[in-house]
Structure 1
């Protein structure tokens, strides 16, 4: 039996963020991809795991089936409990922990919601609302501008190595850099440091492996 069960969604970005760290730490897991069309994320069985009815959720079978939901909380749990070499965090001082936390919170409150709304209004909403599309395209550009300002002066968001802060941005950026910006913005020209950072992250073996799995599963669903 795998140590973890990861509840996720094939095209959705948030579950894959957790998969990156599970793979990086060599932890065994089984992914259960929920069918949103069948509303499985709102089933009574899943609501017992995540009362918010969203993915991801993670169950640790070797820790009395401890369950955690929200992708950033999953990352924090895995890092604190299983990253024994502290590869994906930073120092233990209050200042260092706050610096790490601020980027996790920025991803959860800034990148994820705005990129999600941009995706909805550009590609999913039955009615094209120009105001909404423009608003969230501009917010996408704003989020990238924040990252660009920081990454133009350093290689990673916190410290000198990849942390869970960096990994938390990958799956949304992978889509947004080519799909969510306003048409008059070229990502490589406007946000070169972000693009370079993203390429470094996606070249990491555990990230590349997860993204390849996602690509293959999405392609299979379209057949």
Structure 2
């Protein structure tokens, strides 16, 4: 349950806990493989891994086709993959500076807003053994504010930039689709955002990225509260042991 994954196939050695880099790899058709990292055994802090990511976090990749060049942080990985392995500009424009800037702006919006806010909310809603109502409500309100920004920006559009699926959508989608996990049970008040999630749900490559190397659990957790409760109990044990809380 606490394993991260490492992807290795031809070119890449990919240490994978989130799904964003996996989605990018699948959407761009880049060969890769995956291997497990035991977080409970602190493998992410072993010297060999710290050479790849000095921060001891996952995900990270090593590009074997470029002298084993390492890249860490999901956003940096995504941009690196697009800059080096997206000649058709499927996800990141290269020749139109304005479009490229728009995509990067939304990518940074996810990295500085959506990701951190929902990450904090995940902890307070699901992982922290003790419920802190103030923190839970504060996170939920900020998430809804962010969703309002996305919803307004999607008015009359299928995707965030250029009316086509880009890195802007690929990076935000994994977190937003898990809104219920982050304490926002319903997004009915954000119809454009809801339709956007359903639209991306239908992308085969994205779905494959979500299910590498094990089946995605988010939908199961949403449909089966008992499974979610079981997962929460496991995470409570993990955090109590890790942080002595």
TM-score (norm 2): 0.80
The residue aligned with 1:5 is 13
**SS at 2:208's partner residue?**
helix
Partner of 1:180: 182
The answer to whether the Cα contact below 8 Å between 2:25 and 2:209 also exists between their aligned partners in 1 is no
Q: For 1:25, which of 15, 25, 28 is the aligned residue?
A: 28
| CA deviation map 1:3-23 (0-9, x unaligned) | 1111012xxx3xx11111211
Q: Give the aligned partner of residue 240 of structure 2.
A: none
1:36-84 CA distance string (max 9 Å, x none): 2222222222111011111110111111111111111111111111111
Runs of 4+ in 1 over 3 A off after TM superposition: 212-215
Deviation of the 1:91 alpha carbon: 5.2
Q: Which moved more, 1:153-162 or 1:210-219?
A: 210-219
CA separation of 1:28 and 1:214: change in aligned 2, threshold 3 A: closer
Q: CA RMSD in A?
A: 1.9
Query: Among residues 59, 68, 76, which one is paired with 1:73 in the alignment?
Result: 76
Where does structure 2 lack aligned partners over 5 or more consecutive residues?
1-8, 221-230, 232-245
Q: Shift of residue 174 of structure 1? A: 2.2
Distance 1:36 1:50 in 2: 14
Cα distance in 1, alignment partners of residues 145 and 216 from structure 2: 31
TM-score (norm 1): 0.87
Instruction: Show structure 1 runs of 5+ residues with no match.
Output: none
